[in-house]
Amino acid sequence: MSDIVTIGAGAFALSLRLPDLGMPEILSFGQPAVSAEPLFDIERSSRVNGMDIAVPSAVLLPTGGMGFFGWPAIAGHRQGRDFVAQFGAWRISREDARTVLLGTDPVAKLELAIEITAHASGLLSMATTLTNRGESDYQLDRCMAGTFLAPQGAVEVMSFTGIWGREFQTRRDALGNGIWSQESRRGRTSHDRFPMLFIEGADLRFGVTLGFSGNHQMVIDRTDDGQRLIHLGELFEPGEMILGAGQSYQSPVAYAGPDTAAFHAFVRGELLDWPGGHMSPRPVTLNTWEGNYFDHRMDSLKAQATAAAELGIERFVLDDGWFGKRDDDTTSLGDWDIDARKYPEGLKPLVDHVTGLGMQFGIWFEPEMVNPVSELYKAHPDWALSIEGRPILESRTQLVLDLTRPEVSDYLFAKIDAVLSNHAVSYIKWDMNRDLTHAGGLDGKAKFATQTRAVYALMDRVRAAHPQVEIESCASGGGRIDYGALKRTHRVWTSDCTDALERLEIQRGASRFVPPEILGSHISAVPNHQTGRRHTLAFRALVAIAYHLGVELNPLELSEDERSDLKLYIETYKRLRGLFHAPGANFQLEPVDGRYVWGAASAEKIVLIVAQGPQMVGEQPAPLRLPDSVTRFGGDWTIERVLPAEPEFIRISEGQKRLLAGEVSFSLAAAGRAGLPLPMLKPESAMLLELTPFKGGKSHG
């Protein structure tokens, strides 16, 4: 028996055995590594279905046709021949935390490299490169990026679904005998099939995610011995991935990690690539969309910027409507020249005004799109992805440009570059407002895979030319949020829905894999533009305050009271953002009876945000038990401050009043075991509690 290959040193490791022929066998996953011992020398599979030689089923990236009867993670052929792949003769190379397993198939003339990395944050990642070593074309039908293993027994999968304006709704399915699968064919991460899952078994729980913004698939297959293989990878259209002689397919990266804290640590510590090398305090943003839509008036925008600066806002983002003849969403995408009707002297006067106020200037682009009603489409109708002979299918009256064509990408780069080079722009809101359909190139072949890579290449090119510019990934809200996009962007527009009640679930779901400072969360006007609900400013502000805070309304329309309240919440955000966004500080609890709790904790300060969604069913809320990530700081604490000054309680006892007034000191240990007895909030209201270590003196316990 060959040696055991171990990847990862901590509690979340992978142990493999490399056979002479066949895929690497998974001996253990998600636990401390196992070492060589006689038990592992025993063949783990007995005869299956009467076959004389047993084929192990818990393997990385199984291939079919040679005795493995589960779901093949790699498949392809040469015009029907070589429909079976069988890799062997594994070679290992290791460099720091990176291990590459290289297997060959001399019959089908293929080579497979599996790259597995153990990350400092505790994540393991996997990616594949498949190379055609034959003389003829090899059609790759499927090549997953990685495989992870869940133990046998009852296992649930937590996934995220939704629609426009209601992303990241958490769902749980119990896994059965059949295959659990989720596929996205929309050419973007999508609102309904987010490429992230949590796998929850009796004694092992972990998350997996694919770092890719295009078509993808996640498959959970039950093995012959009742374990589960979890495969993540790209999804190809028929004939989309044909490898010529010597050509390789490079998969996206699949990640697995033990918990949300590890995923956040990875995003913060390894994935994000900040201008200047580190994240600056996340600036409070004014986004002009809901306050102006397409109605851009220079005088008003300048006045809004002035009012924003007075409120403490630090970044002004000019949304859709500044280019072409874009008076509504039926025209001008592709015509990225400043609209001289709205901006007779160009954008410079507005940019200068904004930067003169000490704010950053950001601007909206939707580079991948074209409206049929546009100068660009008139000149180059063939630049849009389409399939000859098939009717085009508009969505939001737009089509998708074929970014795989260099002339298209060059055109877009030149347009974006011109705006960025001629103005002090420090931020792009990069939008993408439709799914891909009819995604064929001039050659009539599917372009999903190459289009996604071409979008990345354009983003990379813009970043290389303008390294000081941050990018926000938006796709009708949260339609393009994944670790592939986050590698080259710095913020995501979590959802087009700014209703605070809806945001409770949306942000809770998105937070599982994305840290709060990356999730854009805006305070918008009442009634809410998406739902018509009316919420207090306190509720709207507190639901947004721990994330990357923004304001999405016309500040000139605020009353004096609203203005001073908003100012207070912006000041509070600035005072607390260092803690909210500090690595390892943030936490969130599972909601109970409509009560959502999240916040951040350090040795000096604990901030709790308590929000009540729907009215509670219980007569009174259960005491709030603080999680270990908070109680670990120990000692006695008091509540120093409560926001708003008068939270909306259904009722409050005398003792609770004293607790909230800071007249009671309590041990964190007790707050963890017994919990904080907080009063019941009214539905759709929230409060923020700031806790500080008790400094002694008078305290009524």
Catalytic residue list: 431, 496
Stretch that binds ligand GLA, among 339-347, 370-378, 473-481, 658-666 (CB under 6 A): 473-481
Candidate ranges 133-141, 165-173, 372-380, 474-482; the one touching ligand GLA (CB under 6 A): 474-482
The CB-of-372 to ligand GLA minimum distance in angstroms stands at: 17
Q: Is the dihedral of CA 419, 422, 423, 428 positive or negative?
A: positive
Cα–Cα separations (whole angstroms), residue 417 to 186, 350, 458, 469, 607? 28, 18, 11, 11, 42
Contact with ligand GLA (CB under 6 A): which of 314, 335, 496, 517? 496
* Six token digits for residue 37: 């011992």
Single out the residue of 19, 291, 324, 477 in contact with ligand GLA (rule: CB under 6 A). 477
Q: Is the separation of the CB atoms in 489 and 472 below 8 Å?
A: yes
Q: Which is nearer to ligand GLA, 291 or 516 (CB)?
A: 291
CA distances from 350 to 57, 204, 306, 554 (A): 63, 55, 11, 16
Give the binding range for ligand GLA (CB under 6 A) out of 378-386, 469-477, 511-519, 649-657. 469-477
Task: Identify the bridge partners of residue 102 per DSSP, sorted by sequence position.
Answer: 91, 113
Q: Hey, is 301 helix, strand or coil?
A: helix
**Listed residue (290, 379, 371) closest to 330, CA to CA:** 371
Contact between 517 and ligand GLA by CB under 6 A: the answer reads no
Q: How far is the CB of 301 from ligand GLA (least distance, A)?
A: 15
- Which range, of 235-243, 277-285, 368-376, 470-478, touches ligand GLA by CB under 6 A? 470-478
Question: 131 is written with which tokens?
Answer: 């190379």
Out of 86, 190, 292, 476, which residue is the one contacting ligand GLA (CB under 6 A)? 476
CB of 433 to ligand GLA, least distance (A): 5
Nearer to ligand GLA, 319 or 505 (CB): 319
Which is closer to ligand GLA, CB of 22 or CB of 334? 334
Number of H helices, E strands in the chain: 15, 37
Give the angle 247-251-255 at the CA atoms, nearest 5°: 160
For residue 475, list its beta bridge partners. 478
Cβ nearer to ligand GLA, comparing 7 with 354 = 354
Query: Can you tell me which of 493, 596, 598, 637 binds ligand GLA, judged by CB under 6 A?
Result: 493
Q: Using CA atoms, how far apart are residues 354 and 336, in angstroms rounded to an integer?
A: 21
Nearer to ligand GLA, 27 or 350 (CB): 350
- Binding-site member from 474, 551, 616, 671 for ligand GLA (CB under 6 A): 474
- State which residue, 240 or 552, has the beta carbon closest to ligand GLA: 552
- Binding residues for ligand GLA restricted to 304-363, rule: CB under 6 A: 319-320, 329
Site mask for ligand GLA (CB under 6 A), range 270-309, x = bound: -------------------x--------------------
Nearer Cβ to ligand GLA (364/580): 364
Q: How many Å apart are CA 247 and CA 131, to the nearest integer? A: 6
Burial (CB count <10 Å: 0-12, 13-18, 19+), residue 700: exposed
Work out how close the CB of 164 gets to ligand GLA at its nearest, in angstroms, rounded to a whole number: 8
- The token duo for 587 is 């936490």
Q: Which residues are CB-contacts of 643 (< 8 A; sequence separation ≥ 6)?
A: 538, 542, 568, 569, 572, 687, 688, 690
Please report how close the Cβ of residue 364 comes to ligand GLA at its closest, in angstroms.
Answer: 6
Number of residues near ligand GLA (by CB under 6 A)? 12
Is the Cβ–Cβ distance between 221 and 179 less than 8 Å? yes
Inter-residue contact 185 to 215 (CB < 8 Å): yes
Minimum CB separation of residue 493 from ligand GLA in Å reads 6
364 binds ligand GLA (CB under 6 A): yes
How many Å apart are CA 656 and CA 677, to the nearest integer? 7
Q: Count of alpha carbons within 13 Å of 137, Cβ hemisphere only? A: 9
The region of 11-19, 300-308, 471-479, 597-605 touching ligand GLA under the rule CB under 6 A is 471-479
CB 686 within 8 A of CB 609: yes
Least Å from the CB of residue 300 to ligand GLA: 18
Find the part of the chain contacting ligand GLA (CB under 6 A) among 14-22, 30-38, 223-231, 472-480. Answer: 472-480
Nearer to ligand GLA, 118 or 419 (CB): 419
Task: Tell me whether residue 149 is exposed, middle or buried, using C-beta atoms within 10 angstroms of its C-beta: 0 to 12, 13 to 18, 19 or more.
Answer: buried
> How buried is residue 373: exposed, middle or buried, by Cβ count under 10 Å (0-12/13-18/19+)?
middle
Structure tokens at 437: 């359909």
Q: Which residue is nearest to ligand GLA (CB)?
A: 320
Residues 404 to 443: which contact ligand GLA by CB under 6 A?
431, 433
Shortest reach from residue 294's CB to ligand GLA, in Å: 8
Instruction: Check if the beta carbon of residue 162 is closer than 8 Å to that of residue 453.
Output: no
Q: Does 162 sit near ligand GLA (CB under 6 A)?
A: no
User: Are 174 and 443 within 8 A, CB to CB?
Assistant: no
Burial level of 26, CB count in 10 A (0-12/13-18/19+)?
Answer: buried
- Give 376's DSSP letter: H
Provide the mask over 10-49, with x wherever binding to ligand GLA is found by CB under 6 A and - wherever it is not: ----------------------------------------
Alpha-carbon gap, residue 412 to 430, rounded angstroms: 12
Least distance (Å) between residue 287 CB and ligand GLA: 7
Between residues 290 and 690, which has the closer beta carbon with respect to ligand GLA? 290
CA 650 → CA 618, 621, 680, distances in Å?
12, 11, 6
Percentages helix, strand, coil for the chain, rounded to the nearest 5? Answer: 20, 30, 45
**For ligand GLA, the closer CB: 397 or 536:** 397
CB closer to ligand GLA out of 433 and 437: 433
CB of 216 to ligand GLA, least distance (A): 21
- Cβ at position 293, least distance to ligand GLA in Å: 8
CB of 67 to ligand GLA, least distance (A): 49
Nearer to ligand GLA, 71 or 364 (CB): 364
The site for ligand GLA (CB under 6 A) is made up of 289, 319-320, 329, 364, 431, 433, 474, 476-477, 493, 496
